[in-house]
Structure 1
Amino acid sequence: MIARTWHGRVPSEKAAAYHAYLVRTGLNDYASTPGNQGVQVLQRTDDGVTHFLLITFWESMDAIRSFAGADWERARYYPEDDEYLLEREPFVTHYEVLARS
């Protein structure tokens, strides 16, 4: 299993709206991609900025490519992301999952 992590930052006053937007866009796309085995959404607020850390779980690199495309190490963004995000981080990180309970 492979974990794919993505990080984004939004102004704290937009955090709830951004989370709802994530559910409609990215989380919905993850769930509908064959080979996706779940997602965790983490949130932390610090000095007026809310950080989102998404950890998606995939059965294989082929499944990740089905979601992300040929340039699978690049972050995937949606049309309205710029209304929320303070910047677009260009890359995601992948990890081999050694244990999950």
Structure 2
Amino acid sequence: MAENGGRGPTVARIWRGRTRRDRADAYEAYNYEVGIKPLIEKAIGVQTMREDRETETEFVTISYWESVEAMAAFTGRDPTAIHHLPRDAEFLLELPETVQILRLVTSHGKTGGT
């Protein structure tokens, strides 16, 4: 049972990765197919963000979960452990070593999309 009585997410898992700017579109498509689609099926919500800079692009993925236990059930292990996609080493400038897990305290306004 979620800490908030099942009314929504109580934690967010934040992943960050950087790629060369000229590989960003290809990585975005790959990441969606291999990394984001499975999250969409299991997490309460998923947001992906992208910042294009002169020579590199940073991607941020935030997935929202009812509990840390729900994240662990999805990953099959410690949800704070990093999980690299099969082609991440090909695309990313360096492989991220950590993810950030934050407890949601409040949420205001409308977020969401299609």
TM-score by length of 1: 0.89
Aligned to 2:5: none
Matches within 5 A, 1:27-38: 27-33=36-42, 36-38=43-45
1:95 is matched by which residue type in structure 2?
L
Taking only aligned residues, the RMSD between alpha carbons, in angstroms, comes to 1.3
Judge which range, 4-13 or 80-89, deviates more: 80-89
Alpha-carbon distance in 2 for matches of 1:73, 1:20: 24
Alpha-carbon distance in 2 for matches of 1:67, 1:86: 27
Aligned to 2:3: none
Shift of 1:22: 1.1
Correspondent of 2:59 among 52, 62, 66: 52
Alpha-carbon distance in 1 for matches of 2:73, 2:35: 14
Whichever of the two has the greater Rg, that structure is 2
Correspondent of 1:78 among 82, 85, 88: 85
1:8 equivalenced with 2:37 (yes/no)? no
Alpha-carbon distance in 1 for matches of 2:53, 2:22: 12
Aligned to 2:99: 92
Please list every run of 5 or more consecutive structure 2 residues that lacks an aligned counterpart in the other structure: 1-9
Correspondent of 2:76 among 69, 76, 89: 69
Aligned to 1:20: 29
Instruction: Give secondary structure in 2 for the equivalent of 1:70.
Output: coil
- Which has more strand, going by share of residues? 1
Shift of 1:3: 0.6
Alpha-carbon distance in 1 for matches of 2:53, 2:75: 30
Alpha-carbon distance in 2 for matches of 1:69, 1:37: 17
Fraction of identical pairs, as percent: 31
Alpha-carbon distance in 2 for matches of 1:5, 1:75: 11
Number of residue equivalences: 99
